[in-house]
Amino acid sequence: MKLIILAVAISLAVLASGSYVPSTKYEAKYADKDFLFKQKFFFEVLRNIHLPLKYEEYLPYAKSWVSDESKYNDFTQVAEFFDWYKTGAFLEKGEIFTIYNELYLRQTYALFTFLYNSADWDTYYKNLIWA
C-alpha cells in the first residue's frame, strides 16, 4: 500500500513538473558597464563605512563638494544642509546615533536631501565621496 501511494505521489510530481512552461512575457535584462561601475562604487564606498576611504581613485573628490548651483535640483535644501555643516551642528564621528533624537533625525534628513537633489550621477558621485 505504501509503495502504491509513493508511486502515485511521484507520478503526480512528474506530471506537474512536465506541464511547466516558462514565461516569455518579460525579457531578462543583463547588467551593462554603467550599472556594474555604479554597483562597484557603492560596494567600495559603503564597505567599512566607519573607516577612511582607502581607494586612491576616490581621494581627490574627498576634499571638496560640488558647489555649482546648476548641478542641483533644489539648491535651497542644499544650502540649508551647508548652513548646518558650517555651524558644526552635525553629529561628531564616534558619537552614538539614534533616530529618537529629533536633532539627529533632522541632520540625517538634511544629508539625504543634499544627496537626493543632485541633478546628475557625477554630482551625486562626488558629493557621496565627500560626505
pTM equals 0.70
Residue 39 grid cell: 554597483
Given this model, what pLDDT does residue 34 score? 92
More confident residue, 52 or 112: 112
For residue 11, tell me if it sits in a domain: no
pLDDT band, residue 20 (cuts 50/70/90): low
Number of domains in the chain: 1
Is residue 129 over pLDDT 70?
A: yes
For residue 51, tell me if it sits in a domain: no
For residue 111, tell me if it sits in a domain: yes
Cβ atoms of 59 and 53 within 8 Å: the answer is: yes
User: How far, in Å, are 52, 69, 72, 81, 128 from residue 76 at the CA level?
Assistant: 29, 9, 9, 9, 19
For residue 100, tell me if it sits in a domain: yes
pLDDT band, residue 36 (cuts 50/70/90): very high
